[in-house]
């Protein structure tokens, strides 16, 4: 594995809404300036964040992706000390005109630590086994240890 790419999954409703707004915005540009607003909304809905690691060239970047086209500035990979896999909660706020609700989901994160306490967020998932598979791949490439912090007592693997 020379490259490792993680992008958050785009929900289907955002994909449909974003493509529709983008298409209508492009068509509207022919008749009015309001097409820019719709195009902006489309881009906002289609924007996906993530990270990309190029282990062959020893570099990484935090990416923003729109319809498969990724943008981000490459940085050299620092001297990674270990990979940490841990559980945390991800809260999403849903708003309506008269109400607001917070939805909390448990998520597994994979971070690469360097300089004792600095981190690079490498991967997010809802599946523990998937997180450990990715951690093992990265740990074997970088020849580093894995810290399992998914339970109350952390342990080195």
Name the pTM for this structure. Answer: 0.72
The end-to-end CA distance of the chain, in Å, is: 21
Ordered by start, the domain boundaries in the chain are 1-77, 78-151
pLDDT at residue 1 in the model = 63
Sign of CA dihedral 86, 122, 133, 6: positive
Under DSSP, the state recorded for 15 is H
Mean pLDDT of the chain: 87
The model's pLDDT over 85-138, given as tens digits with 9 standing for 90+, comes to 999 888 877 777 777 888 788 889 999 999 888 998 888 888 899 899 989 988
Higher pLDDT, 99 or 39: 39
What DSSP string describes 113-135?
EETTTEEEEEEEES-HHHHHHHH
* 114 vs 120: CA distance, rounded Å: 8
């Amino acid at each position: 594995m020379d490259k490792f790419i993680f992008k958050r999954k785009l929900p289907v409703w955002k994909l449909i809404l974003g493509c529709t707004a983008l298409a209508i915005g492009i068509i509207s540009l022919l008749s009015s300036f309001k097409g820019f607003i719709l195009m902006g909304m489309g881009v906002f809905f289609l924007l996906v964040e993530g990270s990309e690691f190029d282990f062959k060239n020893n570099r990484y970047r935090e990416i923003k992706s729109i319809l498969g086209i990724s943008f981000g500035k490459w940085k050299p990979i620092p001297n990674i000390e270990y990979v940490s896999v841990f559980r945390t909660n991800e809260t999403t706020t849903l708003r309506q005109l008269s109400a607001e609700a917070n939805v909390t989901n448990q998520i597994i994160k994979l971070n690469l630590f360097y300089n004792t306490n600095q981190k690079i967020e490498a991967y997010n998932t809802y599946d523990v086994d998937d997180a450990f598979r990715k951690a093992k791949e990265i740990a074997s490439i970088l020849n580093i240890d894995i810290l399992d912090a998914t339970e109350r007592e952390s342990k080195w693997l």
